[in-house]
Structure 1
């Protein structure tokens, strides 16, 4: 993983297009890249805040400074990992704005987590179903349900400009981690195909740079996942194997510190293949079905 050169624009307001500004939170890491990017939508009157980020005093102060005297119509969360939604509550308390967006989710995974854990405190005032919209004076955001990275993940389409706020579902710097049991590879691929069929102009992810060729990227991501699936099947054709043996073969060029995350994605692929009756598990070993 290669980070861009410092200094990063932490706490600064970046104008991306007439209706969209961005503020970077100070939470860089192997799963957040340079940090969570919070988006402010609207130029005239009430704003929407997308993915308010971690409950961090420095980031909250930067958001409030960026908002200034403008009212906030909605605080929108794409999903409830702790690098995305915890700042919703203090921001709502400071602005009086409702929290609107993804559904709440509390789920423990088996074994140590390798991505950000879920925000147990998230309590939305309104959940947006797929295709539902909310509007301000000069903007309309429509929910696009994209389960897979998490079961409650949702993107937001800005109808006035063709931009899509993609949270962690599609990122320009890395593929998304899919961690069972809540993360679901079949759902993730279906959600990628759903976005592939859309005509969005640009993606604004929660981590990393904007994506200026969205359909090209989603096509490549689908191809990458299908290639990983074929790789697993080839390895299992040679001999039954445990995930711990598959990961070193599949991720030879990847930093070993990321192998636990890679193992979770391999597990997600195997569960999908098992549900399609292509493989079966026998204890820790996975075997291809003849």
Structure 2
């Protein structure tokens, strides 16, 4: 169960234990299989969810790992896969969709395909995106697909990526939150596709809902989600305040700010920290609180207005 520290601190739940390739029942309507892709950005691996029984939907088929796809197909060999839903196009969530469609005939639906920000750069702004993802249909906010004993409603939650969706399972008062809200860590916001303003607005949007539990793309369930959302919002506001304090003392680059704000940072998380700082800075510039100088050196520098 997720717990919370005092003040603006968040105590994350990193107790998740599961064996890759096993399809486990985690609620009456939901099963989960862990992919064998652990790492600093994926925690213990990507969680693939199966909703329903007999006639099922797969949410976030995961990375294109043959063993993961084979294990999922074997576990569902006596059932019919009607839908393959994707929360966003990071390869650890969407890349197995094509292989599953080829084997099951199910339609790939959910988020829109990723659009490279600048043609010719081949996804250089966010190399994690799956450029091979081709949905059969795109779900928009409030669109619903129905199975034999379940319905899944799309909830647009941009921020982590521009095309991020969550899916609400009304019958369980549950939300499949993808990478937008996770119990093990905060979500990284990766500009220019991801945007801090969108991320914060999506957190506020979820606060207005009454979901009982979140099933995220990595790690354990988020329980007491409203309290957890409030903690995430406080955390981001605290990070913004820290940036403002540093810029009040001196003009700084994103690299300067990462070094000043993130103490004892694991080198494997440096890129995530850099993305977070840049996303906050983009937001502060857009709100007219900070000005950017793009010609001062190898990276832009920022100062208070």
- State the TM bucket, normalised to the shorter chain: over 0.9
State the distance in 1 between where 2:264 and 2:122 align: 25
Higher relative contact order (CA 8 A, sep 6+): 2
Tell me the C-alpha RMSD between the 2 structures: 2.0
Taking the aligned partners of 1:27 and 1:108, their CA distance within structure 2 comes to 27
Structure 1 equivalent of residue 184 of structure 2: 173
- Is 1:129 the counterpart of 2:140? The answer is yes
Who is 2:5 aligned against? none
How far apart are 1:4 and its partner, in Å? 4.9
1:29 to 24, 34, 39: 39
Residue 297 (structure 2) pairs with residue 287 (structure 1): no
In the alignment, structure 1 segments of 5+ residues that lack a partner are none
CA separation of 1:30/1:56 partners in 2, compared to 1, >3 Å: closer, same or farther?
same
Kindly state the Cα deviation for residue 73 of structure 1 after the two structures are TM-superposed. Answer: 1.2
CA separation of 1:258/1:112 partners in 2, compared to 1, >3 Å: closer, same or farther?
farther
Q: How far apart in 2 are the matches of 1:34 and 1:108?
A: 30
1:13, CA displacement in angstroms? 1.3
Cα deviation for residue 112 of structure 1 reads 9.9
Shift of 1:114: 9.5
Partner of 1:91: 100
In structure 1, how many angstroms separate the alpha carbons of the residues matched to 2:246 and 2:188?
22
Q: Is the 8 A contact 1:114 1:260 kept in 2?
A: no
The TM-score normalised by the length of structure 1 is 0.94
Separation of aligned partners in 2, 1:3 and 1:201: 20
> For 1:153-168, what aligned pairs fall within 5 Å after superposition?
153-168=164-179
Equivalent-residue separation in structure 2 for 1:220 and 1:254 (angstroms): 21
Q: Is this contact kept in 1: 2:34–2:48, CA < 8 A?
A: yes
Matches within 5 A, 1:1-290: 4=15, 8-43=18-53, 45-107=54-116, 117-283=128-294, 284-289=300-305
Deviations 1:54-75 (A, max 9, x none): 1111000111122122111100
- Measure the CA separation in 2 of the matches of 1:111 and 1:270: 25
Structure 2: segments with no counterpart, 5+ residues: 1-11, 295-299
State the alpha-carbon separation in 1 of the partners of residues 210 and 264 from structure 2. Answer: 34
Count how many residue pairs are aligned between Structure 1 and Structure 2: 287
Deviation by residue 1:182-207 (Cα, 9 ceiling, x = unmatched): 01000000001101111101000010
Q: Distance in 1 between matches of 2:130 and 2:70?
A: 21
Q: What SS is found at the alignment partner of 1:148?
A: coil
Deviation at 1:108, TM superposition (A): 5.7
Contact 1:3 1:34 in 2 (8 A): no
1:106 and 1:118 in contact (8 A); partners too = no
Greater alpha carbon shift after TM alignment, 260-269 vs 32-41: 260-269
